[in-house]
Structure 1
């Protein structure tokens, strides 16, 4: 089957696109949720986190997220070390998960698809894009965030022009009525590509 990576900045609607593809029968892997789970459950990853950040990173056997966030916030080296531990674990978990799925394609949802190197484990990449002000309004509505906080997060993420250049497909998500037909077309193209591959083999 085809592995598809879907990415987009805050408020772009990548989770909406993933939900629409799931409604069309695709299995979706949420890399953020997987990372949180693996930091709790993966013994090898836990050992690595303790070795790098100290025993205080776990409290009563559970990951102390606020402590870890305080350690890596504003510390590029610590954040890079965290990513170097977590990303390989997520990558292994995704590949094992994908091997258990059926269907024409599976979806890897990741806000940092290219930055993490996860694009190397998928066959096709999709960037979900939206105008900046639309994204700010969505994120404020969804999270109760202040507009300036959302803009700061956007500034720290890969810009849409770069995503557009790097992705195989782009979906512009401004109004849902127009998004659904675009998702239908993406679903059709991915299924067709997988069928062509199967016939070629």
Structure 2
């Protein structure tokens, strides 16, 4: 089992490693190998290179250690569901330093008590992820209102329809999501999102 420590900050001007020392001290009580993953990316992005690397490298029953839920995600509910699915598919144990109930997962055993705690943890993590997204949305709305008052009108980023069509085409041919991501030169999270949006469009 490996403890995979993930720390994130939104911009390069922020210190993504700020929480790293505290998490390393926290992990000292866990007598297993530690690997650090430090990233400067927005938590609203499902496609994050370092997070993707962590998930690709993770093994069965490894620990994913984060400072708080908002350091892992400020995603929409649908995108967080995708991320949670990837974490669960790897059978990773998500331990959140500032959420003590998740600390029981460090030495998890297959008991009724732990099963109940896992259910509670999942509910709490989902709730905190939703709150993190709402907080981010409120902040963006305040910025948008300020820009409107100043007369500035930002233009949105358009989807790459050619890339989306190629993802859908390769999916129909039966390629795995990993193979599609490599062929299209995009993150695997983009593949998940495009195919999920395709399903909900019908």
Q: Same fold by TM (over 0.5)?
A: no
Q: With CA pairs under 8 Å and 6+ residues apart, which has the higher RCO, 1 or 2?
A: 1
State the TM-score, normalized to the length of structure 2. 0.29
State the TM-score, normalized to the length of structure 1. 0.29
